Each structure stands twice: as structure tokens, then as C-alpha cells.
Amino acid sequence: MRVNIQQTEPDAFKAVYALEKYLTQAAITPIHLELIRMRASQLNGCAFCINMHVEEARKHGETDQRLHLVAVWREVGELFTPQEQALLALTEEVTLINQHHVSDAVYNAAAALFEEPYLVQALMAIATINVWNRLAITTHIPVQAQA
């Protein structure tokens, strides 16, 4: 591991953690939250976060089949609800925003399925996991071995 942000700048860590606390108290479902976290982490290549959020998703009742197929969700659309598909598409475009921004089609599809507060919560979840991914990758936080 490189610098330990939590030890070196605890207030910086607490600021990002406050976003996490907000998300756990928001209306966004745990499964939606974990699907967002896993897909963004896959796109960013964050092994630490993928490992963590697979375990969190399992705790919330997510199946191994769906966990294995999140990366190719478009190919197995029937395994994911229309709401989940909209969130996964939005997650991809926000995470890869430098490539082509967020299309009206993807945004409007999500906006049609969710009320504005839920949509904002999803956007905050996407932004927050992208922050965590960048910090974990940059500082080389190691993946913990499973027992």
C-alpha cells in the first residue's frame, strides 16, 4: 500500500465516508447500490472494491449467477430488471464520462423509471464509488483473502 489516506488525512477520508453514510440512509435499495458499486468497480479495474461489494451484495441476497454476469448484463438482460438495467447503463456512462458523456437516451431511460430523489441517490452512488475506486487503485489497497 502507498499512502494511507485514513491515517494521513482523516478529515479527507471522513468527507468521502460521509457520502457512504448518506447512501446507507437513503431510499436506494441495497441491491441497486451494490450493482452500481460492482459495475463501476469493474469498469475502473478496482479489485479491492469488486471483492468488497460482491460480499456486500451476497449479504443482501444477491445470487452468484447475477454477480458473475454483472459485467455482461446486456447479454443476459432478462436476469436484471428494467430498473437495474437502467442503473447499470447510467453507471457505465457516468463512470466512462470522458468517452462520450451521458447520453440523453440513457439518462432519460433512468429518469422515466425513477423519481428524481431516487435518481439523485443513484448518481451520488455512482460518483461515490468512482471516488473510492480511484483512491483504492492509486493507494494500492490490497484485496483481503477470503477464508
pLDDT at position 77:
77
For residue range 69-118, what is the model confidence (pLDDT) as tens digits?
999 999 997 999 999 999 999 999 999 999 999 999 999 999 999 999 99
CATH says 25-139 is which class?
Answer: mainly alpha
- Predicted TM-score (pTM) of the model is 0.95
Distance CA 40, CA 128 (A): 10
Domain boundaries of the chain, sorted by first residue:
25-139
CA distances to 21, 23, 50, 67, 136 from 110, in Å: 24, 18, 24, 21, 28
Give mean pLDDT, residues 59-78. Answer: 96
Closest CA to 42 of 82, 87, 92, 93: 92
Query: Residue 146 has what pLDDT?
Result: 64
